Structure 1
Amino acid sequence: MDAQTFAKLNEWRNYPAQQQPSYADKRLLREITEDLRTRPPLVFAGEVDQLTRKLAAAAAGQAFVLTGGDCAETFADSTADKIRAKVQTILQMSLVMSYGASMPIVKMGRIAGQYSKPRSAPQESKDGITLPSYRGDAVNGFAFTHQSRQPDPRRLLEMYQRSATSLNLIRAFTQGGYADLRQVHLWNQGFRNNPAFSKYETIASELDRALRFMTAVGADFDSIKTVDFYSAHESLLLEYESAMTRVDSRTGKLYDTSAHYLWIGERTRDPESAHVKQAMQIANPIGVKIGPNTSPQDLLRLIDLLNPEGVPGRLSFITRMGVGNIRKVLPGLVKAVEETGNPVVWISDPMHGNTITSVSGYKTRRFSDILGEVEGFFQAVREAGGIPGGIHIELTGDDVTEVMGGSQDVSDDALAERYETLVDPRLNHQQSLELAFLLTQYLAV
């Protein structure tokens, strides 16, 4: 990397950076990031460019984006079984949605890199003791002790190693026959046989009939034995993202090789922030989370900075408004952006704006609120002249009890049975599939 490119890569250091860990040992941090700069890339520029083209199709209404995975991955849960369950859930959802919408589904996982989370407060207190907040396993430990809560740069190296092994496993699953369309459909049979989901029997039966027809006419199933699956995470820890950025030998452009897709959070999207300045330098597709306090001017400024050339698929706006705000706030934002002619992928995050505390004291969400925001998103985007391009949800492949409601009707009292998340509540396997069936109603319009 020449001096000019290196200076460009580090320009973000001249701007304010929110939500960054305060490392006590700066020398160790330098040693770790220097080590990371020598490590092989986790993803490749050609894969990133392929994703950008698929996102361009979503912006044009020719594809739909499905992003799902943990609110914050943990090192302990980066096991083969946990990863397989999440990938399987996303593949099952994508099959239902693709059939219902008659369009390709771009599959991305909040997997293999989503090991950190922004927090509303830098510290938390318990029983008169105040310690740094838990910011994800890439930063510190969850245990409420002084030693555990101290940010440790060595965790960045473990994040890299965990991400590498996770991506290797995902590639094996999705390219080795595990994702064969017929196999995915068989997984959905268990969902179909659950009495709670009898109302989706028609769609499930139609899918079954379509696959039988393909078999009868000798369709080429080789083309559906593998799928493209992309990794995504929040671009939060700037030292890590900077260390993982490489120069593409084909084009001379900078690519963040920690993931195919990076998004900037609601708390760090200020146009003059270090996060935005860093994202400006890389060729990856970028998402920006936008909440109910976003102004049209905010979005127009972000477009000028992150996609000044109007590259299709480069920029996504991920809305997280809350069910009570989505119809009031989003139409004006969509209209302002659409009037620029700059292509944007509109994606709904119906999770983060609908977090509540239950009567029993659990941080949770109502499934009905999630569905309400999804419906409002489709309505608002279309009425303002835009194209609904995707959905971004926190889910797990396990049967946890963290979100209330759904056909299985998880109650407040049931939350305690399998509440496992360390940060935000996730849809369980069955709720995720139910959401996929319901999405077909909006996609088929």
Structure 2
Amino acid sequence: MLIRVENNEELLNAWRKYPALQQPTYPDLDALASVAADLRTRPPLVFAGEVDRLTKDLAAASRGEAFVLTGGDCAETFAQSNADRIRAKVQTILQMAIVMSYGASTPIVKIGRIAGQYAKPRSADLETRGDEVLPSYRGDGVNSFEFTLEGRTPDPQRLLELYQRSASSLNLIRAFTRGGYADLRQVHHWNQGFTDNPAYKQYEAMAVELDRALRFMEAVGVDGENMRFVDFYSAHESLLLEYETAMTRTDSGSGKLYNTSAHYLWIGERTRDPQGAHVQQAASVQNPIGVKIGPTTTVDQIKELASILNPEAIPGRLSLITRMGASKLADKLPALVAAVQSEGIPVLWITDPMHGNTITSSSGYKTRNFGDIMQEVHDFFGVLQAEGAIPGGVHVELTGDDVTEVVGGAEELSEEALANRYETLVDPRLNHQQSLELAFATAQILRESVKR
């Protein structure tokens, strides 16, 4: 049971003594305080036992006994947090997990950037269009994408909407993953209605093999009960400090703090300062924490982050999510991995091959090249293995829809095609076909790494 306990209040609010970057500028602080008080009375979205189970799963991945797949929208929107969109994202992640697990004979830890990813850091506080200057769009949890003063003014009432949307999304996800939709016998059904292209053909061929294997297991009397449901965890960037604080509870059994807004939280490249508020807040809770590390990250910063976020050296507690860029990873990452190895710091290494590879197309769209994404995944495995470390996961922005936001891939999506279905409000995402393609390619790399 998760409750609020007064003797944890000092720990809960310790972050307030540190610089807090990327926070909305709310015009009415009394309204913000009222919303935070309301949130503190609302039921938790996740529970301590689920969080602890994920930490154990991530520890297994850090030992090479599993592999982590994290996927979902760059930034969720209230308008698209409906049943069809959520089902499509969950289905895509399940399909990718099946491809990777079956292809590499490795358990896959499934985490969705779902049910809480409603805020994004921005490179500038203000956006200019013509002669008008307004606050930047920071996600539906903060303000509106609509370029008006009313829409762009941060509104704390949106935090309540964030909570409600996250709660309903998690309820639906639990129904999907525990109520039979995730049954391995559904692998054919998951692929229905998609066009005839290489990734889908490859998936269907694998589904036939898997179906034959399942029938064999049933024939020889193997109990398939645990194949009818899956553990599916939620994650988002820990960015809005007032919301995360309001959603933190004390576990009555252990007396420790848990952030009940998600199972897994990560700290972004812009907010990972060890002496910043985001790191200090994350240090107060028991959830597994990821930290995005880019090409400017130093060995000393990683050591300090580990000492603050995981002083007890608990396996699975701390993940380092690399987002270097395909052109920089092979040069920048080896020294960091070597230092972590030599110091014996327990971390789970995950690659984010998306954020370091963002470019602007000739037509003006923000995009990414699928070849660069796969190059970074490949180099990530190569560097980790060369340094005697374990590649533990992949973290990607994706959607279950056939959008046109990332160029390249088997469909050879061109820059000219970006305008067809460019729907993201922030960063470009892999579409459904590209997500499967990445899963097959990663499974091949993973299978080869296991053989070594």
Q: Structures share a fold, TM > 0.5?
A: yes
Distance 2:221 2:97 in 1: 24
Could you tell me how far 1:366 is from its partner in structure 2? Answer: 0.4
Could you tell me how far 1:198 is from its partner in structure 2? Answer: 5.1
The residue aligned with 2:266 is: 263
Distance 1:188 1:335 in 2: 42
The residue aligned with 2:62 is: 59
User: What is the 5 A alignment of 1:309-348?
Assistant: 309-348=312-351
What amino acid does structure 2 have at the position aligned with 1:362?
Y
**Alignment TM-score, normalising by the size of structure 1:** 0.97
Distance 2:175 2:200 in 1: 31
After the TM superposition, which of the residue ranges 196-205 and 25-34 deviates more from structure 2?
196-205
Could you tell me how far 1:69 is from its partner in structure 2? Answer: 0.2
Query: Does 1:418 find its partner at 2:421?
Result: yes
User: What is the 5 A alignment of 1:152-171?
Assistant: 152-171=155-174
Could you tell me how far 1:204 is from its partner in structure 2? Answer: 5.0
After the TM superposition, which of the residue ranges 117-126 and 189-198 deviates more from structure 2?
189-198
Distance 2:384 2:116 in 1: 30
Show CA shifts across 1:383-432 (max 9, x none). Answer: 11110000000000000000001111111111000000000000000100
Asked whether the 8 Å contact 2:188–2:204 carries over to 1, the reply is no
Distance 1:9 1:100 in 2: 43
RMSD: 1.5
The residue aligned with 1:248 is: 251
Could you tell me how far 1:274 is from its partner in structure 2? Answer: 0.2
What amino acid does structure 1 have at the position aligned with 2:14?
E
Distance 1:362 1:192 in 2: 25
Runs of 5+ consecutive residues of structure 2 not aligned to the other structure: none
Asked whether the 8 Å contact 2:127–2:136 carries over to 1, the reply is yes
Could you tell me how far 1:322 is from its partner in structure 2? Answer: 0.2
What amino acid does structure 1 have at the position aligned with 2:57?
K
Asked whether the 8 Å contact 2:200–2:433 carries over to 1, the reply is no
Could you tell me how far 1:205 is from its partner in structure 2? Answer: 5.0
Asked whether the 8 Å contact 1:192–1:198 carries over to 2, the reply is no
Asked whether the 8 Å contact 1:192–1:204 carries over to 2, the reply is no
Distance 1:292 1:257 in 2: 31
> Is the alpha carbon distance of 1:51 and 1:192 closer, same or farther for their aligned partners in structure 2, counting shifts above 3 Å?
farther
The residue aligned with 2:442 is: 439
User: What is the 5 A alignment of 1:76-115?
Assistant: 76-115=79-118
Identity %: 68
Distance 1:195 1:338 in 2: 39
Corresponding residue SS for 2:320: strand
Distance 1:48 1:250 in 2: 14
Distance 2:392 2:41 in 1: 36
Distance 1:195 1:432 in 2: 12
> Is the alpha carbon distance of 1:333 and 1:190 closer, same or farther for their aligned partners in structure 2, counting shifts above 3 Å?
farther
The residue aligned with 2:72 is: 69
The residue aligned with 1:31 is: 34
Asked whether the 8 Å contact 1:21–1:151 carries over to 2, the reply is yes
After the TM superposition, which of the residue ranges 257-266 and 4-13 deviates more from structure 2?
4-13
Could you tell me how far 1:367 is from its partner in structure 2? Answer: 0.4
Asked whether the 8 Å contact 2:112–2:233 carries over to 1, the reply is yes
The residue aligned with 1:361 is: 364
Distance 1:271 1:178 in 2: 42
Asked whether the 8 Å contact 1:18–1:268 carries over to 2, the reply is yes
**Alignment TM-score, normalising by the size of structure 2:** 0.96
Could you tell me how far 1:209 is from its partner in structure 2? Answer: 3.5
Asked whether the 8 Å contact 2:265–2:287 carries over to 1, the reply is yes
Asked whether the 8 Å contact 1:92–1:185 carries over to 2, the reply is no
Query: Does 1:295 find its partner at 2:298?
Result: yes
Corresponding residue SS for 1:444: helix
Give the counterpart of 1:121 among 124, 127, 143. 124
- Aligned length in residues: 445
> Is the alpha carbon distance of 1:382 and 1:278 closer, same or farther for their aligned partners in structure 2, counting shifts above 3 Å?
same
Could you tell me how far 1:210 is from its partner in structure 2? Answer: 2.3
What amino acid does structure 2 have at the position aligned with 1:419?
Y
Could you tell me how far 1:222 is from its partner in structure 2? Answer: 1.6
Distance 2:341 2:191 in 1: 38
Asked whether the 8 Å contact 1:197–1:407 carries over to 2, the reply is no
Distance 2:81 2:193 in 1: 25
Show CA shifts across 1:295-330 (max 9, x none). Answer: 111101100110111101000000000000111111
After the TM superposition, which of the residue ranges 159-168 and 4-13 deviates more from structure 2?
4-13
What amino acid does structure 1 have at the position aligned with 2:348?
V
Could you tell me how far 1:221 is from its partner in structure 2? Answer: 2.2
What amino acid does structure 1 have at the position aligned with 2:83?
A
Corresponding residue SS for 2:439: helix
The residue aligned with 1:388 is: 391
Query: Does 1:214 find its partner at 2:217?
Result: yes
> Is the alpha carbon distance of 1:336 and 1:195 closer, same or farther for their aligned partners in structure 2, counting shifts above 3 Å?
closer
After the TM superposition, which of the residue ranges 171-180 and 327-336 deviates more from structure 2?
327-336
Runs of 5+ consecutive residues of structure 1 not aligned to the other structure: none
After the TM superposition, which of the residue ranges 41-50 and 176-185 deviates more from structure 2?
176-185
The residue aligned with 1:406 is: 409
Corresponding residue SS for 2:343: coil
Asked whether the 8 Å contact 2:185–2:211 carries over to 1, the reply is no
> Is the alpha carbon distance of 1:431 and 1:83 closer, same or farther for their aligned partners in structure 2, counting shifts above 3 Å?
same
Distance 1:200 1:174 in 2: 20
